[in-house]
Amino acid sequence: MKPATSLLHSLASHPALYDLIQRATGADEVNRRLRESANGFARGEWWLDVGGGTGLASDIGLEYTHHVVVDIDEAKLIGFRRTHAGGLAVQGDATRLPIVSEVADLVLCRAVSHHLDDAELERLFAEAARALRPGGRFLFLDAVAAPSRLRSRLLWRYDRGSHPRDARDLRAVFVRYFDIVTWTTFTIHHAYVIGVGIRHPPAD
Ligand SMILES: C[S@@+](CC[C@H](N)C(=O)[O-])C[C@H]1O[C@@H](n2cnc3c(N)ncnc32)[C@H](O)[C@@H]1O
């Protein structure tokens, strides 16, 4: 990685600056879309935000009794704790969630999958499915590769995540763990996909 890009990445990982950059690049509109996709399951008991970072997804306006953020980066969780007194921040790996099975009414995963390689992506979805109680929903969002768009190419060039994927490739992995309720693509600077899934029923 070039030194300038590396400097950019370490600056952008500061929680307050991270939030500022995300808002400048459309985070509020992304959250509005997520809220729209969560229509019908916007309230419940346990809500788990996997790779939740500083807690930007809290703005979606979900009304759950308990909010748990799991993230691998302690600095992001410190940012989360500063601004979300009622939430629980847990340092942990999305591919080995430190969470008992079948507890969450909703698992959200926003802008995380492009940080994971293919084997890790499988484990992320498997772990999200394991954490969900039967009937619970998985709400998934990420930016996707769109090589024909100049803006997408530029954004990916400077992103910390090194695994941008085609929406169809993501969907092919998603359906191995979840029945699809909705699968929506849209563009705000980046091209995005939002997937809503219910975990497969256990085999007899
Ligand atoms: C682009 S940020 C998104 C943060 C948050 N979900 C949001 O939408 O603002 C990606 C997040 O994934 C976290 N992350 C990356 N790999 C992870 C892993 N294996 N387990 C847990 N968190 C991870 C990073 O620490 C970072 O907070």
Return per-residue pLDDT of the chain as tens, 204 residues: 566 666 666 666 677 887 777 777 788 999 999 999 998 888 999 999 999 999 999 889 889 999 999 999 999 999 999 999 889 999 999 999 999 999 999 999 999 999 999 999 999 999 999 999 999 999 999 999 998 998 888 888 877 768 999 999 999 999 999 999 999 999 998 999 999 999 988 776
Residue nearest atom 9 in ligand 1 by C-alpha distance: 56
* Ligand 1 contact via 114 beta carbon (within 6 Å): no
* Ligand 1 contact via 53 beta carbon (within 6 Å): yes
* Ligand 1 contact via 112 beta carbon (within 6 Å): yes
CATH classification of the domain holding 70: 3.40.50.150
Structural domains in the chain (count): 1
Identify the CA nearest to 184 among candidates 4, 9, 35. Answer: 35
What is the distance in A from the centroid of ligand 1 to the CA of 76? 9
State how far the Cα of 102 lies from the Cα of 144, in Å rounded to an integer: 29
Residue 48, in any domain of the structure: yes
Nearest-5° angle of CA 95, CA 77, CA 119? 15
pLDDT for 11 equals 64
Residue nearest atom 27 in ligand 1 by C-alpha distance: 53
Residue 114, in any domain of the structure: yes
Q: In angstroms, what CA-CA distances link 144 with 113, 114, 161, 170, 204?
A: 10, 8, 11, 9, 35
What is the distance in A from the centroid of ligand 1 to the CA of 84? 17
pLDDT for 17 equals 80
Residue 204, in any domain of the structure: no
pLDDT for 107 equals 97
State how far the Cα of 133 lies from the Cα of 117, in Å rounded to an integer: 26
Helix (H) or strand (E) holding 179, with range, is: strand 178-188
pLDDT for 152 equals 87
Q: How does 163-196 read in b/e, with b if 16+ C-beta sit within 10 Å?
A: ebbebeebbebbeebbeeeebeeeeebbbbbbbb
Residue nearest atom 13 in ligand 1 by C-alpha distance: 51
**180 in Cβ contact with 197 (< 8 Å):** yes
What is the distance in A from the centroid of ligand 1 to the CA of 203? 31
* Ligand 1 contact via 111 beta carbon (within 6 Å): yes
Residue 21 per-residue DSSP state: H
Interacting residues of 190 by C-beta distance below 8 A, sequence separation 6+: 25, 26, 143, 144, 146, 151, 152, 155
Question: What number of residues does the chain have?
Answer: 204
State how far the Cα of 153 lies from the Cα of 162, in Å rounded to an integer: 12
Atom of ligand 1 nearest to the CA of 116: 16
Residue nearest atom 14 in ligand 1 by C-alpha distance: 51
Residue 63, in any domain of the structure: yes
Tokens of 181: 């309720």
State how far the Cα of 181 lies from the Cα of 194, in Å rounded to an integer: 11
* Ligand 1 contact via 71 beta carbon (within 6 Å): yes
Domain enclosing residue 93, as ranges: 3-199
pLDDT for 13 equals 67
Atom of ligand 1 nearest to the CA of 49: 6
Residue nearest atom 12 in ligand 1 by C-alpha distance: 51
Residue 113, in any domain of the structure: yes
Residue 137, in any domain of the structure: yes
